[in-house]
Amino acid sequence: LKWSEKNDFVRTAAKFNATIVTLASAGSFESYNVVKDAKELLDLPLVGERLANLSKEVKGPRKGVNETFVAPLAFPKKSQARHYFLFGKPLETESLDYKDLEGCSKLYADVKEQLETDLKRLVDAREEDMYSGSGKVGKKRTKEESLG
């Protein structure tokens, strides 16, 4: 996981008294063949420059921050892996002042810890699941589930 050093989304949630609910997910990466990632696409002659320019035209979520987003070029595998999802417990912000940088940093650390713990739980569950993979095992799983 790549975590920003900034806790902007927590501060925004606190400003509007929003509840933060994490969502951990596993299985998507195993279901797709990534042909080129964002860096590889941006390094391509002609195409890379065009993608970078298109990305600049999209308004980012943070004022004054120029972020380049280019989705990877990927194609689904013939047999999909099983996907796993886990919602975290709701984290309330109504008693948090968005100007309280220390409080926001603490909640940000809690969000990170919860999400990382939930991801580990999903990976562990996937390792225990005999039908978790793609390929022959995934095809067998798909066949059995479609009969049921």
| pLDDT more than 90, % of the chain | 52
Stated pTM of the model: 0.70
Give the CA distances from residue 132 to residues 20, 57, 77, 80, 127, in Å, rounded to whole numbers and listed in that order: 29, 40, 14, 9, 7
Instruction: Give the pLDDT confidence of 93-127 residue by residue, as tens digits.
Output: 999 999 999 999 999 999 999 999 999 999 998 88
